[in-house]
Amino acid sequence: MIVETAKAKLNLALHVRARRADGYHELETLFAFVEHGDIVSVTRAEADSFMLAGPFAGVLAGEGGNLVTRAAAEFAREFGHGAHAITLDKRLPVASGIGGGSADAAATLRALGRLHGISVADMFPIAAALGSDVPACLHGVTAIGRGRGERLEPVPGLPGTPVLLVNPGVAVSTAEVFRRWDGIDRGPLPADPRAGRNDLEPPARAIAPVIDDVLDALAGAPGAGLVRMSGSGATCFALFDGEASRDAAAAALSGRGWWMLSTRLT
């Protein structure tokens, strides 16, 4: 059995530059990943099967199709290699701006690739077709993403940095957040992502005002450095100057009923 972690993805900065004719948006983003995420397990089997487990299995089951089975179907179409039993342990909230489905699809491809000796490079075209964030998740390293996010340039990261993820429990539609972007290009990614922005924060906050509360709470935590929303939200994150300050922030916020993940950048 091959087991892959579908590490949660963060956008340390996300600049929306233009609306494209194909309905997507031209981005400049800094992708980073954390140590924790969903878990995808894959084995060879007589017939294809898919099982969901974990705290967010119910939410996903209610949505019908998902990117794990689509990724497996694309892999089979491209490379063959028979049937598989796949299990997804869904630990990250759904529709929350931290990869989720994209990370799951990428982990599924990585697991199938390991099982059958197919390289990440060879799976890249499938990844891009599955979703804008799937190529970044397939590589799983800190990188600047351009285009829809599929043109990747690896850059040095900050491995080991303590980070707290907080999601207020509101699912936000990525397509709707992009639709509400005001169309104003506020400029390129700066060399230091701390000086950057997430241009999707204003439209996401218009849909889910509770995001303001999350950002305020994180910004007020002692030891918090960069505080920002990830992707199209509603998950926000803070980088901390140590694990003690991160854990203290998590303890201070524990009464709010928000989902939280204490982890570290990879």
- List the one residue from 31, 33, 56, 178 that touches ligand C5P (CB under 6 A): 178
Greatest Cα pair distance, the chain, in angstroms, is 54
Q: Is 90 one of the catalytic residues?
A: no
Q: In whole angstroms, give the CA distance from residue 266 to residue 264.
A: 6
CA distance 89 to 217: 29
| Amino acid letter, residue 231 | G
Q: Which of 84, 148, 197, 205 binds ligand C5P (CB under 6 A)?
A: 148
Q: Point out the catalytic residue in the list 89, 104, 133, 199.
A: 133
Q: Would you count residue 266 as binding ligand C5P (CB under 6 A)?
A: no
DSSP state of 265: B
Binding residues for ATP: 93-103
In whole angstroms, how far apart are CA 250 and each of 71, 87, 145, 218, 261?
A: 34, 30, 30, 9, 8
What is the rounded distance in angstroms from the CA atom of residue 112 to the CA atom of residue 254?
A: 38
Binding flag, residue 94, ligand C5P (CB under 6 A): no
Could you report how far apart the first and last alpha carbons of the chain are, in Å?
A: 24
Q: Measured from the CB atom, is 2 or 8 closer to ligand C5P?
A: 8
Whether residue 133 lies in the annotated active site:
yes
Q: How far is the CB of 61 from ligand C5P (least distance, A)?
A: 20
Among 161, 174, 235, 266, binds ligand C5P (CB under 6 A): 174
> Is residue 204 at the binding interface for ligand C5P, with CB under 6 A as the rule?
no
Q: Does residue 75 touch ligand C5P according to CB under 6 A?
A: no
> Taking CB under 6 A as the rule, which mask of x and - marks residues 114-133 in contact with ligand C5P?
-----------------xxx
Site size toward ligand C5P (CB under 6 A) is 11
Asked if 31 touches ligand C5P (CB under 6 A), the answer is no
Distance CA 257, CA 265 (A): 24
69: Cβ contacts below 8 Å, ≥ 6 apart: 50, 86
**Interacting residues with ligand C5P (CB under 6 A):** 24-25, 27, 131-133, 148-149, 174-175, 178
Catalogue the active-site residues: 9, 133
